[in-house]
Structures are given as C-alpha cells and as structure tokens.
Amino acid sequence: MSEIVCPAILIAAPASGQGKTTVAAALARLHTRQGKKVRVFKCGPDFLDPYWHTLASGAPVHQMDLWMTGEADCRARLAAAAREADLIIVEGVMGLFDGEPSAADLAQRFGLRVLAVIDASAMAGTFGALAFGLQHYRPGLTWAGVLANRVASERHAEMLKNSVREPEQWLGALMRNPAMNLPERHLGLTVASEVTDALERLDAAADALAVTPLGQMSLADLKRWDVEFQVVDDASAELPISQPLAGRTVAIARDAAFCFIYAANLDCLQALGARLVFFSPLADSTLPECDAVWLPGGYPELHAARLAGNTSLRDSLAAHVALHKPVWAECGGMMLLFDELVTVDGQTHVQWGLLPGTVTMQKRLAGLGPQQLLMNDGLLRGHTFHYSTCATALAAPLRAARPDGEPQPDAGEALYQVGSIQASYFHAWFPSSPSATAALFASSAQPVKVPAGVMHD
C-alpha cells in the first residue's frame, strides 16, 4: 500500500434542490479558470449533473456509489484523481444522510471533508441550527463548513452568518441570481450541451463564488482539506484482461434524445476489446457498420415525432436485428422500440415497432431506485428512474431485484427479449459485471479477469 494526498470535499445539502450542483460546478469552474487541475465526481447514479461538471472542469466525470459502483472502484478512482489533481470535488446526492448508502457514508468511508450548501431563501436564525445539526448529527464526519445559497441581500447574509455557532464554519453566501441558474426539466437538469449559454451560467456562478470565503481560498488554504488516499501497489493489476469483444464494433446511440451514458460504461466496453462508434437516431439515416447496438436512455418523449419520422434508420436497425445481431436497449432506448409512445399531453406517436406495445408518459415517477439484474453470465448492478409505463403482451424472462436480492414482483424492472433484442427500464452499470456486459453485445462471452480499480466483483 502507498498513499497519496490531495484536498477533497464532498458538497452536500439537507435535501435535494438546495443548489449542490451549482456550487460544485462553480467551484470547479473557478479553480479551473485559475489553471488548477480539478476532478469532479457525482455521488449516486445521476447521468445529468456530470454534464455540467465536465463542462466546468474540462475533465471526465464519473459516478460514485458504495453499492452500485462499489467501494474498490470508488477508492481507485479517487486515488487516480489525487495523482493528477489540485482539488477533488464530489457532489452528494439528495440530502446528506438520505439513501442507503448515503453521501455521508461515502464521505465517512474515504475521509472526505463535508461542505453543506443550504438554501437560505426562507430562513434566518434557523440556518445556524440546521448547519449545526448537519455537522453534529453523525460522529466521525469531517466538516469543511457551510455555504448559504439563494440569499436575498447583504443584510440577510449577515443574519445567516451570525446564526452559525462556529464562525470558522461560515464559507459565505451566494445571492439570488437568475444568470447562474441551471435549467431543469422532468428528469433533472437540462443537459449542458443543450443550453446555449451553459458556460456563461457557470462563469456567473464562479464569479459569485469568487467573492466568498470559499472562493477566496488559495491552494495553500485548500491543504487543510487534504485527504490521504490509499493506492494498491500491485503490478498484476496492470496486466491485460481477456477481451471477449475484441474485433467487435458496438454502435452507440448518442444525441439529444439518447444521452444517459456513463463514461465508465464506455471504458468498460473498450476494456473488453470493443471498438465504439456513435450514431444519432435523430439525424442519421443508417446504422454505422457494427456487430452490436446499444440504445441508452434519454428523452425520446421530447423528440417522439422526429424519431417516428426517421423510418430509414428504423429499417436499418430492423435489418440489423434480422441478422440476429445483438441490441441492448435501456429505458429511453427501449421506449423507442415499442409500437407507440403517448406523450404527457395525450398525443400518440408511432415509434419503431420492434417491440409490441405502447409506452405512456406519466406526470409522476413510475420507477426509482437501485436495482440489480441476475443474468446467466453475471449480476449487473444499476438503477431505474423513469416517468413512463409500458403496456405489452411480452413475457419477462427476467426481472430486477432490490440491492438486498429480494425479488420485486410489482416493482422490479422487466427484461424483455425479442429475437436478438434485450430491453429494459433498468440502467446497467457495466463495470459491475464485465462478463454479463460482454454477453449483452456478443453471441457468446467468456468470463473476464477484472482489472483492479476499473471494475469490481
């Protein structure tokens, strides 16, 4: 074992919607503009916040979850980031203590300093009580401080500051400012690449943060947040793994309609030997030459009419399936393959008709939470998060289960199979089972040796 040291914080909050993403991205943007190397991670399975963090930091952003991605993967990614970064930022998920595992669990496991962001728009003295409670609720958490968000005035900021029992914990206030708001829609933040002034919004947030005690901390000041990350010195970890997808090309849908793609999933496919190519169901008329197709999740409901009109790509995919070539379709990717999609306003759009049935958008969440899918070649971990339901005559040969392994007859996501198509609302974290992942994209796959720090058991 060896150790490497780097300042690292986890940006948390008492609840969702407090401004964690804005503060994390602003802090990353502020230090990146100053020429520092910043690495950002997102706690939990979120696809959308990492787009903003990638834009802010100029570096790839990976998810961290003690269950889904695993402790070993988290530890290895933190250590790898510490080797090259001046600052590591981890954005929490929901409230600090919400979920199993929670953001607090992640912070405690790796000794990350916790910075609490609190929406102070409707409070004054209670701000200090809330900050104190977050800091002291669980023994063993190392605290960085508290930042007030959506503050009305300098006078309001002064009241908030005076409410904090330990003055050194006050890291400043961000005023209400529409110029730094990150736009949202029903599944979360709008993808940064779809927001024409995304960088300007991040710069506005970074400018606002720059005048706070948090924003004025130098590299020397940040050293008080130093964390020691353990690195496993194992030469065998660098040995190449078997590559059951060597020589195979996987075509991946990627555009505004299909954007829910973990960077680690792409890394996993490449580690398995696959060559990756990308295509747009919104714009392309044919599939690229490939041996397998991955249709990830996204927003097909926002582009249903345009997708319905792309009959040439539909026919190209149907020809791919007729040749018994694999298709893995996740959530939004699966929705595209059904006969019809009914949007929340009641409009019906013909879709690609490779799966029988109708998908209907709902006004409320229809599926949410961590799940795992036991397949012939391994156990895939992941999650579900969708606003639609599907009505189909298809039987489900497999269903997902809770993290504890208990079946969910009513809530476990179904895996449908028609010919070479496998489809589910389940979003898979490919590194959780390289062998099961390989089986999704190959007619036969051999178990693979897992490289330390990239994939976990």
Secondary structure of the chain in the HEC alphabet?
CEEEEEEEEEEECCCCCCCHHHHHHHHHHHHHHCCCCEEEEEECCCCCHHHHHHHHHCCCCEEECHHHHHHHHHHHHHHHHHHHCCEEEEECCCCCCCCCCCHHHHHHHHCCEEEEEEECCCCCCHHHHHHHHHHHCCCCCCEEEEEEEEECCHHHHHHHHHHCCCHHHEEEEEECCHHHCCCEECCEECCHHHCCCHHHHHHHHHHHHHCCCCCCCCHHHHHHHEEEEEECCCHHHHCCCCCCCCCCEEEEECCCCCCECCHHHHHHHHHCCCEEEEECCCCCCCCCCCCEEEECECCHHHHHHHHHHCHHHHHHHHHHHHCCCCEEEECHHHHHHEEEEECCCCCEEECCCCEEEEEEECCCCCEEEEEEEEECCEEEEEEEEECEEEECCCCCCEECECCCCCECCCCCCEEEEECCEEEECCEEEHHHCHHHHHHHHCCCCCCCCCCCCCCCC
pLDDT at 264: 95
Question: Which whole number is the average pLDDT over 336-359?
Answer: 95
Question: Which whole number is the average pLDDT over 260-269?
Answer: 95
Give the model's confidence band at 181: pLDDT under 50 very low, under 70 low, under 90 confident, else very high. confident
Q: Is the pLDDT of residue 20 over 70?
A: yes
Model confidence pLDDT, tens digit, residues 399-409: 998 887 665 55
pLDDT at 147: 98
pLDDT at 46: 87
Q: Is the pLDDT of residue 240 over 60?
A: no
Q: Which domains does the chain have, with CATH numbers?
A: 2-231 (3.40.50.300), 239-441 (3.40.50.880)
Model confidence pLDDT, tens digit, residues 76-131: 999 999 999 999 999 999 999 999 899 999 999 999 999 999 999 999 999 999 99
Q: Is the pLDDT of residue 383 over 70?
A: yes
pLDDT averaged over every residue in the chain: 89
Model confidence pLDDT, tens digit, residues 130-144: 999 999 999 989 999
Q: Is the pLDDT of residue 237 over 60?
A: no
Question: Which whole number is the average pLDDT over 327-331?
Answer: 97
Model confidence pLDDT, tens digit, residues 49-68: 898 999 999 999 999 999 99
pLDDT at 410: 59
| Percent over 90 (pLDDT), the chain | 78
Question: Which whole number is the average pLDDT over 243-257?
Answer: 95
Q: Is the pLDDT of residue 193 over 80?
A: no
Q: Would you state the structure tokens that stand for residue 321, as one six-digit string?
A: 């399936």
pLDDT at 411: 63
Q: Would you state the structure tokens that stand for residue 322, as one six-digit string?
A: 């007729």
pLDDT at 452: 32
Catalytic residue chosen out of the listed positions 43, 74, 331, 390:
331
Model confidence pLDDT, tens digit, residues 402-432: 887 665 555 689 999 999 999 999 999 999 9
Lowest mean pLDDT of 107-111, 228-232, 312-316, name the range. Answer: 228-232
Based on the residue annotation, tell me whether 331 is a catalytic residue of this protein.
yes
Q: Is the pLDDT of residue 446 over 70?
A: no
